[in-house]
Chain A
Amino acid sequence: MRAKVTVYPRQEVLDPQGRAVHQALERIGFATVEDVRVGRSFDIHLDVESQDEANDLVHRMCRKLLCNQVVEDYEFELGEFERGELDLAGADG
Chain B
Amino acid sequence: MKCGVVVFPGSNCDHDAYHVLEQVMELEVEFLWHDQDHLNGCDLVVLPGGFAYGDYLRAGALAALSPVMGAVKRHGQAGGWVLGICNGFQMLLESGMLPGAMRLNRSLRFECRDVWLRVERSDLGFTSDYEAGQLIRVPIAHAEGNYIDSDSALDELEENRQVVFRYVAPDGSDSDEANINGSARAIAGIVNKQGNVLGMMPHPERCSEEILGNSDGLPLFRSLLRASREAMRMAQ
Are B182 and A68 interface neighbours, CB within 8 A? no
Q: Which residue, of A15, A16, A17, has the highest number of chain B Cβ atoms within 10 A?
A: A16
Residue contact A71 to B101, C-beta cutoff 8 Å: yes
Which residues between 6 and 58 of chain A lie within 8 Å of chain B, taking CB atoms? 9, 13-17, 20
Closest to B106 in A: A16
- Across chains A and B, the number of contacting residue pairs, with CB separation under 8 Å, is 36
Please tell me if the beta carbons of B61 and A68 are within 8 angstroms of each other in the complex: yes
Q: Which residue of B lies closest to A12 (CB)?
A: B150
- Tell me whether B148 is interfacial, beta carbon within 8 Å: yes
Are B148's CB and A70's CB within 8 A? Answer: yes
Measured CB to CB, the closest approach of chain A to B220, in angstroms, equals 26
Q: Are B146 and A16 in contact (CB under 8 A)?
A: yes
When the two chains form the complex, which single residue of A13, A20, A65, A66 contacts B148, counting CB atoms closer than 8 Å?
A13
Query: Please, how many angstroms separate the alpha-carbon atoms of A41 and B57 in the complex?
Result: 11
Residues on the B chain within 8 Å of A9, using CB: 103
Interface size of B by CB at 8 A reads 20
The answer to whether A71 and B57 have CB atoms under 8 Å apart is no
A20 to B109, CA, bound (A): 12
With known contacts A15-B103, A16-B105, A16-B182, A68–B58 Cβ distance under 8 A:
yes
- Check B14 for interface membership: any CB of A closer than 8 A: no
**Contacting pair A65 B103 (CB below 8 A):** no
CA distance A20 to B104 in the complex (A): 12
Q: Is the CB of A71 within 8 A of B61?
A: no
Closest CB of chain B to A79's CB: distance in Å?
24
Best-buried of B104, B105, B107, B149 by chain A (most CB within 10 Å): B104
> Do A70 and B101 contact each other (CB < 8 Å), given the known contacts A13-B148, A16-B182, A17-B108?
yes
In the assembled complex, which residues on chain A have CB atoms less than 8 Å from the CB atom of B61?
Answer: 65, 68
User: At the interface, yes or no: B100 with Cβ under 8 Å from chain A?
Assistant: yes
- In the complex, B94 has a CB within 8 A of chain A: yes
CB distance from B67 to the nearest CB of A (A): 15
Closest 3 CB pairs of A and B: A70-B101, A71-B101, A16-B106
- What are 10 residue pairs bridging A and B, where the CB atoms are less than 8 Å apart in the complex? A14-B106, A15-B103, A16-B105, A16-B108, A16-B146, A65-B61, A68-B61, A68-B101, A70-B99, A70-B101
